A and B are shown apart, each in its own frame.
Chain A
Amino acid sequence: QVQLVQSGSELKNPGASVKISCKTSGYTFTTYGINWVRQAPGQGPEWMGWINTNTGKSTYAQGFTGRFVFSFDTSVNTAYVQISSLKAEDTAVYYCVRGVSWKFDSWGQGTLVTVSS
């Protein structure tokens, strides 16, 4: 079955960087794009953007340009998001999500990133 397994929780100082991984299985990795979704504490989800795992092209939502970079490694069927110059307001759970035909059909379990000194 389709699975997206994310890396564990992170505690970072302001100004640091973090890289979250999302290892996929159960399907051909390059067939479907990977979306990234942020959910701040007590808030609704927010779409960050997506990466086309066939072409490598990334699309970033407004508010997620500059400090956010999507990438992937097809040899290990894994997608990544790197966030640099972390701020307190980046504290959130980050989800990777498979996009299939206009829907988000499979979600990772989420990775909590806490930014605090």
Chain B
Amino acid sequence: QSALTQPASVSGSPGQSITISCTGTSSDVGGFNYVSWYQQHPGKAPQLVIYEVINRPSGVSHRFSGSKSGNTASLTISGLQAEDEADYYCNSYTTINTWVFGGGTKLTVL
């Protein structure tokens, strides 16, 4: 199972919005609504920010939102803040009952 495809980096200024894409296939992203997004700060464990494509866990800012179209899922962060600077990873369930992660996107807040 190949890793899901994410842009290596994105950047934005405070207050702006950014979107990170996550492209898979019909065997993973396109086949299920079981796409999650994780935020990872340096030296820390990943933390869930979006699950089942569009849902936010309790305690996660409303500035984080998710969507999906076909084989591509997206994470949007609005009203960028300095604390949002981190690596972001998508994750999807697959048709062979496994999980696959994306390669990760480094978000820089300018």
Point out residues on A near B: beta carbons under 8 Å. Answer: 35, 43-47, 59, 61-62, 95, 102-105, 107-110
Contact = CB atoms under 8 A, between A and B. Distances in A.
| A contact patch SS | strand
B25 to A, nearest CB: 16
B51 A59 contact: no
Nearest to A63: B1
Given A102-B51, A107-B45, A44 B3 contact: yes
Interface of B: 1, 3, 34, 36, 38, 45-48, 51-52, 57, 89, 91, 93, 97-104
Contact of A45 (B34, B57, B89, B97): B89
Nearest to B50: A103
B45 A102 contact: no
Contacts of B51: 102-103, 105
Contacts of A109: 45
B92 to A, nearest CB: 10
Contacts of B100: 47
Contact of B45 (A103, A105, A108): A108
B45 A110 contact: yes
A103 B36 contact: yes
B101 A45 contact: yes
B102 A44 contact: yes
27 contacts: A43-B104, A44-B89, A45-B46, A45-B89, A45-B91, A45-B101, A46-B101, A47-B98, A47-B100, A59-B98, A61-B1, A61-B99, A62-B98, A95-B45, A95-B46, A102-B34, A102-B36, A102-B52, A102-B93, A103-B48, A103-B51, A104-B36, A104-B46, A104-B48, A105-B48, A109-B45, A110-B45
